[in-house]
Amino acid sequence: MKTSTPEASHRSLAQLLEVRSDVLKDLRDLIDAWSGLKGMIQGAASFSIVLDTNVVIGDLLWLVVKRRNPEAKTDLMELIAAGTAVVYVPPRLLREVEEKIPLIADEKGLDAEQLYAEWESYQTHLLVKDPGQDSINAHAKGVDPDDADFVALEQAISASGVFSKDKHIAMMGGNQISIETIASLRSYSRATAIELTIKVNGVVMTLMGAAAIRSLFSGCRALTESLSRAPEWVKAALLIGGAFAVLHPGTREYLTRQFRSAFDGIRGISPQVIEELSSAIVLMQSQQSLAKEHLDRAMRELQKNSSEDSEPKFAPHGNSAQS
């Protein structure tokens, strides 16, 4: 009979939990909305970013010329879908893109209507905000007056910076966010999506297990003895609960109180379930470590760019990343 190794188990579990990063937005909303998860699971980092016109044009060209899978996204689009980036643009950007599309179509021999169609979809993910004429005028005498709107907006909303390929942004007093930082945040989003999927499902299974156990065994005098005859999924839920109690000290007291009388009953759980749950914990920890590595890399650049500022500008927008 063929037996599975821990490595094989880990691989199959990794494939099963290879979720897309855009599920991260739903997980954020669930953690924020469900009081049962608050305090148990820390949310994910999110940043306010101002977007420059040159990045939009680059993304539109990629969507029209290079994309083969209609569901594929650029790095920035993936960050927006994951909720890791909340992207703002000044009204000037809308005008510039509208003006440049026909020029780019003529220059590169592309279908302008296709570019406009992609732009119509793309701009639905952008938040348009006017920084105010006074703020724009304050930067209008810099090396590139066309960048004044973007730098002014960054400062008006205390954004993390301006995602731009234009070095004039920094010369105008703005914080330029590089492509490398966006790539790091994309990798952070992907790892965090897997990590939080395991954590949220584990807690949900645990809470569901508690309710089912109360229902199934409410009339029994000896709950522990009854659990030895419980279905595997009930035992699995309890085992996950025990794992979370150990891994997350903040939840230990709560979960221990919930399952104290039941923990002994999981001794009859099958080795295969224990192996899969152990693999889930290993995968969760590895993805948590990977997420932290990518977030730290992004933050190092952002903090270096803002080292001359009197106040920190890069605290995550909304829930902070796990430590």
133-170 pLDDT, tens per residue?
A: 999 998 878 777 888 999 999 999 999 999 999 888 98
Rounded to 5 degrees, φ, ψ at 237 are -60, -40
Q: What's residue 140's pLDDT?
A: 79
Over residues 17-43, the mean pLDDT reads 73
Per-residue confidence (pLDDT) for residue 83, from 0 to 100: 94
**Cα–Cα distance measured from residue 119 to residue 94, given in angstroms and rounded to the nearest whole number:** 10
- Residue 309 has what pLDDT? 45
Going by C-alpha positions, the residue among 228, 214, 232, 203 that lies closest to residue 34 is 203
Q: Is the pTM of this model over 0.85?
A: no
What is the chain's mean pLDDT, rounded? 75
Measured between alpha carbons, how far is 137 from 303 in angstroms, rounded to an integer? 27
Instruction: Find the angle CA(147)-CA(149)-CA(152) to the nearest 5 degrees.
Output: 105
Cβ 18 vs Cβ 190: under 8 Å: no
The alpha carbon dihedral of 76, 81, 87, 92 has a sign of positive
pLDDT for residue 142: 72
* Cα torsion angle, 109, 113, 118, 124, sign: positive
**Half-sphere exposure (CA, 13 Å, Cβ side) for 284?**
20
CB-CB neighbours of 104 under 10 Å = 16
Yes or no: say if 22 and 81 are a contact pair by the CB < 8 Å rule: yes
Residue that is written with structure tokens 């855009």 in the block: 22
Rounded CA gap, 137 and 144, in Å? 12
pLDDT tens-digit map of 75-131: 999 999 999 999 999 999 999 999 999 999 999 999 999 999 999 999 999 999 999
d(CA 229, CA 196): 31
Whole-angstrom Cα distance, residue 299 to residue 85?
A: 14
Q: Which two tokens stand for residue 212?
A: 């089912």
Question: Residue 229: what pLDDT?
Answer: 56
Q: Among 2-11, 168-177, 183-192, 230-239, which stretch is predicted with the lowest mean pLDDT?
A: 2-11
**In this prediction, what percent of the chain has a pLDDT beyond 70?**
61
Residue 6 has pLDDT above 70, yes or no: no
Residue 20 confidence (pLDDT) above 70: yes
Which residue from 135, 161, 196, 206 is spatially nearest to 312, judged by alpha carbons? 161
